[in-house]
Amino acid sequence: MKLQLNGAPLDSDAPTLAALLEAEGFGGAKVATAVNGSFIPASLRASHHLSSGDSIEVLAPMQGG
pLDDT in tens, 18-34: 999 999 999 888 999 99
Please indicate, yes or no, if residue 64 is contained in any of the structural domains.
no
**What pLDDT was estimated at residue 28?**
85
Determine the Cα–Cα distance for residues 10 and 2; give it in Å rounded to an integer.
Answer: 6
pLDDT in tens, 32-62: 999 999 999 999 999 999 999 999 999 988 7
H or E element, residue 9? strand 8-11
Question: What is the value of pTM for the model shown?
Answer: 0.91
**pLDDT of 63 strictly over 80:** no
Q: What is the CATH number of the domain that holds 31?
A: 3.10.20.30
Please indicate, yes or no, if residue 43 is contained in any of the structural domains.
yes
Q: Is residue 19 a contact partner of residue 27, using CB atoms and an 8 Å limit?
A: no
Please indicate, yes or no, if residue 65 is contained in any of the structural domains.
no
**pLDDT of 65 strictly over 70:** no
**What pLDDT was estimated at residue 33?**
97
Q: Report angle CA 54, 17, 5 to the nearest 5 degrees.
A: 50
Please indicate, yes or no, if residue 30 is contained in any of the structural domains.
yes
Give the alpha-carbon dihedral of 8, 17, 58, 23, to 10 degrees: -70
Task: Give the domain extent around 10.
Answer: 2-59
